[in-house]
Structure 1
Amino acid sequence: MEVSGTSAPTVTVFISSSLNSFRSEKRYSRSLTIAEFKCKLELVVGSPASCMELELYGADDQFYSKLDQEDALLGSYPVDDGCRIHVIDHSGVRLGEYEDVSKVEKYEISPEAYERRQNTVRSFMKRSKLGPYNEELRAQQEAEAAQRLSEEEAQASAISVGSRCEVRAPGQSLRRGTVMYVGLTDFKPGYWVGVRYDEPLGKNDGSVNGKRYFECQAKYGAFVKPAAVTVGDFPEEDYGLDEM
């Protein structure tokens, strides 16, 4: 067993336990007695100090010794940076019992009781007229949303299914295709234009989240906002996809 001769006042070790499957990296003073060290480990592994048995392993996970002298100093053992101290619990708790949060009793409060409290975030937001409780701001946001929807509806009304089009979507190259759908959708609010591209540059086959809006091959379909669509006499270009 090779032991480092370092005299640093602290040592960084890994803590493992028979109570759980994870390890914690911690730093401790070498001047702690094993009894004091066990008390600090209570907060790490959840085992009572009186029920702990400690084993020391090297950085290569080779067993060194037991830390079984309560009044001995931690530094009197061959503990070096990177070593692992394994805590064996004798309290009768099963492995993983402290990891199952479904067994933790949770505090619950009814919506009515929460509403009556005066020291909650909700009551503060109401008193300060913040967020959804700012009626003026909410009315303004609703008006802006209605205005955007009205503008989209007007843009969409000028686009007909079957029309040839060019799509200039943000962050994408110019693409040509055929308009296959115009209207509202279930996947996002507002008006959308379904396009069948001339090339496989789309994201779907005309369906989103299991609902079909139009038919096309996979990767040829896409949905874009009406503002990104220009209809006109845009013949399908020859991209040479059929060339040998």
Structure 2
Amino acid sequence: MLGYFSPLDGYTLHITDLDPHSLSAGGGLEDVNLVKKYEISEEDYLKREDNFRAWKEAKKREDPSWSFAKEIKERQDAQRKKADPSFVPEPWKEVETSEESYKELAERIKVGDRCEVTLGGKRGEVRYVGKIPAIAAGWWVGVQYDEPVGKNDGSITSKLGRTSRFFECPPNYGGFLRPDKLLVGDYPERDIFDEEEEDE
């Protein structure tokens, strides 16, 4: 049905839901407090034999080096082995992050550099290069994106609830990445109108 209107890439669609019984009626998709949720007390949760914590503890008893990442890799390897019997999985290695992780890459990146995220192609400007203990050990790059595709405003809130500001930018324009997740160079801000003209 949408194809009838022949929308092109970059178009903005405005849709009005006229169904009074729809899930979105009365703000059901905007205000999560309106959505009825299943709730269980901590005590009742722990009584269940199939609770997540019990499963995780059982996995740790079987293999003290167990982790979610290791579990996922083993399952993926099993699927690949099933599809291709000649597949030989690499042994599991835990990725170690120390205070100096990614330092060599980070030293090549300067505040003010233009950059592009390798996965997704988001572009922006480097606003911070350094360590952020609130996230994890090692070196990080703070980016102000050209569009509101980020997760913060240049600040990070730790698990203890303390907020640390690393740079200023509008909400949802900031992000923090490892230095190996972006490229720096000649990545000018994209003009969506130029892209539309090229398509014609």
Query: What TM-score do the two structures reach when normalised by structure 2?
Result: 0.45
Q: Which has the higher contact order (CA 8 A, sep 6+)?
A: 2
Q: Which has the larger radius of gyration?
A: 1
Query: What TM-score do the two structures reach when normalised by structure 1?
Result: 0.37
Q: Choose between structure 1 and 2: higher strand proportion.
A: 1
